[in-house]
Every structure is written in structure tokens, then in C-alpha cells.
Structure 1
Amino acid sequence: MTARRRGLSLRATLTLSYAGFLMLAGVVLFAAGLLMLRFVPDGDLFTGSTGMWAPGRADLAEVFVKYAGWAFAAFAVVGLGGGWLLAGWMLAPVGRIADVVRGVDAGTLQRRIALRGRRNELTELADAFDGMLDRIERAVDEEGRFAANASHELRTPHAVIRTIVEVARADPAGRDVDRVLERVAATNERAIATTEALLALARAGRAGLRFEPVDLRPLAAEVVAEARAAAARGGPAEGSPPPVRLEGDAAVVHANQPLARQLVANLVANALAYNLPQDGDVVVRTGTMPGGAATLQVVNTGPVVAPDLAATLTEPFVRGSGRARAADQGVGLGLTIVAAIVRSHRGELNITARPAGGLDVRVVLPAG
């Protein structure tokens, strides 16, 4: 941060401004008085038959200038003294804001200004700063939880591989090399999937993305076609993915195309992987709202999901059955990446647990 040279304080600046305006008002009054004296005749004046003397212009000007000087001195004293007190009273909330700002760091994010009073520029500034602190505190807490969960998720596959290798070394005669290699490969694939998901999450939250008009309908059609092809390769075996249906019309959004496709793919993959019975169903709908915003809705059947669990599904490493991982589940970042993509596109994400079972996920994005 560039060092700044010490300048005049804001209180002193306001004080000089108040005093200056007061002196300017005095100068205006002084000029007006001199202009009025122009209408007074010169010389000594006598009134009518009584012969009483009245002061002329010169006499009045001499007295006016004398007392105007005293008035200017009084204006300067009142302007500087009163302006100093008034500026201090006006800037007291700024001092409180500065104290809180200087005292805030990563360990004291709980401090707030909480400025009282009616709405004005200073209370709006304090409220805006308190709101910023709220967002920073939430982000820091989320980042801490995410780092802890990510380190656990990335450490677990390596620990499993080490255990497999140690067990195989301990029993050279009875080990099955093919089974060991299979288990190591499966665990390694899970580690790769977790790493790729973390990289995708970082890219989704990155600034400076290229945005363009993107139609969600063709992207959804590609993802649905790939899901159907994968289901066809799986055949009619038990546990094969359920059918996926595509409905709706064109939905043009202002988005980054790779991230928009990943958004659709993650929602469909999540619907296929979680909360689905063997004869379940997945429906993907695209459309446009009356205001022009585009919508993407993915609905799947399945067991009943608790509403409080549905509200946490966008947190990192939270899965449909809770935080515990099953052997065939993903890395728990699918909906987290979806939420990050929606935030980067200034959209809205709503996840609702259906009363009959399964989830109803609805995304609203700005129009293209």
C-alpha cells in the first residue's frame, strides 16, 4: 500500500469551510450595507424647521466600517470555534467506523459498527460495512470448512492406497495382485475425480470469465443424450440409470458456455446418482420467464429427503444421504459447483425436497 503524506484533517477542513462561509456571508452583508449608504446624501443634514442635525454619508460610513470590523472578528471566532465543535459532532460516527475498521482482522470478524440513528449517508455507510463484514465472515467460515473437508477428502484415498500396499507387503504369499491393482486403481480414480471437481469449483468462482448468449436447450439435449447413451451401455441390469426426459423450449442466457454446460451436466448427474429407485424418473425442463430470465429445472424421483438436508446439499462434500460417503457415491461437490456457477452468473438456485420423494432443483439465470 502506498504511503500517504499527512494532510489537513477532515475536521479541520470542515471547520475552515464553516468559518469561510460565515466570513463570506459577512462580506456580502458588508457590501450590501455600503451599497445602501450610497442613497444617503453627502454632508451634514438638517431636518426641516427644527434645524436638528442628522449624520450624512461620511459619518454613517465611518461608524459602519468600525463596527463591521468588530463583526468580522466575531464571525471569525464563532466560525472557528463553533465550526470545530460542529465538525466534531458530525464526524463522531466516522471515528467509530474507523475504529471498527482498524480493529477488524481474520480473528475479530465478529465486530460490527451497529450505528444508531435515522437513515442518512453515514448510517448507510455503516450498514454497508456491517453487511460486508457479514459476507466476509460467512465466506471465511465456509472457506475454513471447505479446506478442512477438502484436505480430508484428498487424504483419504492416499491413506486407503497406503493401507492396501501395506497389507499386500505383509502377506506376499497370499496377496492377489490383480485385486490389489483393481482396488488401487479405483481409489486413485476417486482421488482424480475429487481433484478435478476442486479445480472445476475454483474455475467456477474465478473472475474475468467470457460471457456470451447461450441457449440452455441444446446443452441440455447433449447432456440428456449422453445420459441415455450411458444408460443404454449399462443395459437392463439391476441398478442401471433411470430414463431421462427433456421438456421445454429455448432458454437463452448470458453465460460462459463451458460453465453453463457443466451446470446442466452436474444437475443431471446428481439426479441420476442420488435419491433414485430402479424405476425412477428424471425430467429436465428449460424455459423463459415472463421477465426474460431463463430457467433450468431438473426433477427426479426417489426417497423422501428431509428439508433441512436439502438446504445443505450445496455445501462441499454433502451427499444425498448425509455427510457419510458410500462406495458408489461421487465426491460430494456436484451441487457445490452448481451453486458456484450460479453465483458467478448472478443467478438464483433453489433446491426443494419433493413431498413424494426426490428433489426439485430450479436455476434462474439472466437472459442473454
Structure 2
Amino acid sequence: MRRRPGLSARLKLTISYAGVIVVSGALLLAVVWVFLLRYVPDNVITPGPGFYRQRGPGPPFIPNRFDLWHAFAPRAAQALAFLLLLGLVGGWLLAGRMLAPLTRIADAARQAADGSLSHRIRLEGPRDEFRELADVFDTMLERLESHVAEQQRFAANASHELRTPLAISQTLLDVARNDPTRNRDELIERLQSVNTRAIDLTEALLLLSRSDRRNFTREPVDLSLAAEEAAETLLPLAEKRQVTLEVTGERARTVGSPELILRMVMNLVQNAIVHNLPDGGGVTVHTAARPDASVVRVENTGPPLPPELIPTLTEPFQRGTRRIRTDEHAGVGLGLAIVHSIVRAHDGTLDLAPRPAGGLVVTVRLPGTRQDPSPTGAQQPVREPSPVV
């Protein structure tokens, strides 16, 4: 059932303004009647003998209450009618002026609903409630436009990345169909490699989507244990690349998803190993407990990084093209993007800074929890650097 449209806000305000003015005028006239006319007698007033001597010859006219009421009532009615007209006209103009910012905000909302997110209100004037609402709406439109553009760019890049292994698989199958004598073992190995890459990309996309939704269960997590587990898991990769891997620091507790935080540390350590010097590189993973945060810092060696490259490293499918990497561990371009998403989902911060001697320092700060003291009441000691490789 379709509801009938009601009165507009402007008309309601106009009626309210007019009603206030009319009621105020009526109360004023009532005060005049109660405190003035009620003291005038109803009957004919007969003046005393002394009144004629003071006023001169002839009978004077002294009005009673009935005479004053007949003279006062029409003028009071005219005054109330004028106040009503003034309230309606003035209230309509005043309400229109007061609601003009809301009209601009509504127009911007309609344009946003139609898909145009580039429009801004930019309301001028004093910083009142309407100005604050317009500024908040402009900020929302700006963030929404940025988010939509990021999602569109991400979808386009993801489609391109997913299409690449599928196209390679299709090409390999076409070649095998047209050349029955081709080595099947080689074909199977290449298809398996391409399929593994597609699976890794799909899992990374699902993980990135999950971390953005923030629908995970939060549990106590120790960043030092996550760092040790990540280092132990990636030890074969570090040995293969002849990279020295060290884990240092102390217990650093936070609250979040153990799986996502472990993946975050794994991605940081893996990136630090892969994007390193071709021989004799090093990676240091350090955890620390601060009064307001739990910190994990991953530092690696490598060639110098240009400052303009640093902000792009956390964007999806943006690989550090000037960093050392091989095709075997090129990745899908989502490592630091996933890290950034996980850190953001845990209300933390991610800082990337190039080392003067080459390489990168990645610092993650997550909300910390109270550190439990040791049984003797002393603080937990800081662990000495433990070389893994």
C-alpha cells in the first residue's frame, strides 16, 4: 500500500512559526484584557459635581467596559489577522532559508544514489549543525568514491591475474591437442605449476576479502610465538636463498585472529626473504611490548628502494619491480596488501621505511594487552637474537 505524502518540512515549520506568532499576540491581547479592561465598570459612569467644574460645560462621554470592548475587539481581530499573515509569509521565507542546506544535501544524495560520487556540497557560511552535516557528507562521499575506485581497480586487476593462468592452461592444452607427440610429463608439470599459481591467487583473494569483513573471532595472540612459527616454517626458503634469519625480542600480546595474524607475519617474513640480496642477505624479526601497543618489526637487506616506490607496495597486485625476485617466488602481488588489510582489521598501523643501506623496515603496531609478569614478579626478559639460519 502506497502511503500518501505528508506535509513538507518547510510547510510544517511555516505553520509552526505562524502559530507561535499568533499565540503570542493572543496572549498579549489577553493580558491587556485581564489587567486593564476588567477594571472598567459595566454600567454607565456618572461623574461627580467636581468633574464638570474641571472639564468645562457639557456632559462628558465616559466609556464603560462595553464601549471599550466594542472598540478594542475589531482592532484586536485585525491585529491577529495581520500577525497570522506575517507569520505565514515570514515563516515560509525563513523556513526556506533555513532548509536550503538540507536541499543541497538531498540533491547530493540523489546524485550519489544515481552513481555520481564526484559531486561535493562544499557548504559555506558559519560552522553550525548544517555545515557540520554537509562536511560529514562530503567526507563520506570522498571515502566512498575512493573505496569504489579501489574496488573497481582491484576487480580489474584480479580478473587480469586470474585470466593469465587460465589462458596459459588453455594454450598448453591446445598445443598438446595439436601435437600428440609432445612430452606429457612436461605438459603435466607445467599445468600443475599454473594451477598452483591460480589456487594461491584465489586463496589470497579470499583471505583479503575475509580480513576486510572483520567477521573473525578475536582471541589472545602472542606476536613472538607467531614470529617463531613463521621463521620455522620459512626456514627452508631462507636456507635455499642463503639468507640469515633471526628472531629477537620479547612477548608481545594482542587480541585478534590467530590465523590472520600468523598469515600477516608469514607474509612479512616471506617478502623479506624473497625480496633480498641474491647472496648473503639477512632478515631480522623483532617483537616488542610497548605501553600502548604490541610491535613486530621485520627488517631485511637488499638494494636501495626509491622513496616513491614505498607507498605503492601495499596496493594489490603492485610488486616492487626494482627489488630482487625470481619467477619461482614472484608471488601474486597481494602479500603486503593482505598484511595491510589484516592490520587495518585489527585496528593497528603499518609503517614501511627504506633502510639507508638498502632493504626495507616494516613495522606493525597492534593494540596491546596487559603483559603477565613472571612467577617471581619480574618482567619477562628480552630474548637474545637467535639465528635460525
Q: What's the TM-score once normalised by structure 1's chain length?
A: 0.86
Q: For residues 100 and 16 of structure 1, what CA distance do their matches in structure 2 show?
A: 28
Residues 1:7 and 1:48: Cα distance change in structure 2 (over 3 Å): farther
- Compute the displacement of 1:338 (Å): 1.3
Residues 1:10 and 2:17 are matched in the alignment: no
Contact kept in structure 2, 1:37 and 1:61, CA below 8 Å: no
Query: 1:35-54 to 2 correspondence within 5 Å?
Result: 35-37=34-36, 40=39, 42=41, 44=45, 49-50=50-51
* Structure 1, gaps ≥5 residues long: none
Q: 2:192 aligns with which of 185, 193, 196?
A: 185
**How many residue pairs end up in the alignment?**
359
Task: Give the distance between the partners of 1:186 and 1:116, measured in 2 at CA.
Answer: 60
Aligned runs of 1:49-64 on 2, under 5 Å?
A: 49-50=50-51, 60=68, 63-64=71-72
1:334 aligned partner, one-letter code = G
Q: 1:45/1:257 Cα in 2 relative to 1: closer, same or farther (>3 Å)?
A: farther
Out of 138, 144, 152, the position equivalent to 1:136 is: 144
Q: 1:101 corresponds to which residue?
A: 109
**CA contact under 8 A between 1:347 and 1:364: conserved in structure 2?**
yes
Supply the AA of the counterpart residue of 1:200: L
- What are the equivalent positions in structure 2 for 1:146-295 lying under 5 Å apart? 146-173=154-181, 175-228=182-235, 230-231=236-237, 235=239, 237=240, 239-240=241-242, 242-290=243-291, 292-295=292-295
Using the TM superposition, give the Cα deviation of residue 278 of structure 1 relative to its aligned residue in structure 2, in angstroms.
2.5
Cα deviations by residue, 1:231-282 (Å, 9 ceiling, x for unpaired): 5xx75x5x24x23323333333332332222222222222122234432222
Shift in alpha-carbon separation, 1:94–1:132, aligned structure 2, 3 A? same
Aligned to 2:310: 310
Q: Which has the larger radius of gyration?
A: 2
Pick the aligned partner of 1:84 from 92, 97, 101.
92
Work out whether residues 319 and 325 of structure 1, in 8 Å CA contact, stay in contact via their aligned partners in 2: no
1:84 offset after TM fit, Å? 0.4
CA pair 22-208 structure 1, distance change in 2 beyond 3 A? farther
Q: 1:349: how far off?
A: 1.9
Measure how far apart 1:189 and its partner are.
0.9
Structure 2 CA distance, aligned partners of 1:147 and 1:108? 20
Q: CA deviation at 1:303?
A: 1.0
Q: 1:45 to 1:182 in 2, by over 3 A?
A: farther
Deviation at 1:162, TM superposition (A): 2.5
Aligned-partner Cα distance in 2 for 1:214–1:286: 13
SS for the counterpart of 1:108 is coil
Give the C-alpha shift of residue 347 in structure 1: 2.4
The residue that corresponds to 1:330 in the other structure is 331
Displacement of 1:49 in angstroms is: 4.9
Give the counterpart letter for 2:8 in structure 1: S
Deviation, structure 1 residue 40: 3.6
User: Are the aligned partners of 1:276 and 1:300 in contact in 2 as well (CA < 8 Å)?
Assistant: no
Give distance in 2, aligned partners of 1:103 and 1:307. Answer: 38
Q: Percent identity?
A: 46
Determine helix, strand or coil for the equivalent of 1:6.
coil
Where 1:243 maps in the other structure, the secondary structure is: strand
Q: Residue in 1 aligned with 2:375?
A: none
The answer to whether the 8 Å contact 1:227/1:244 transfers is: no
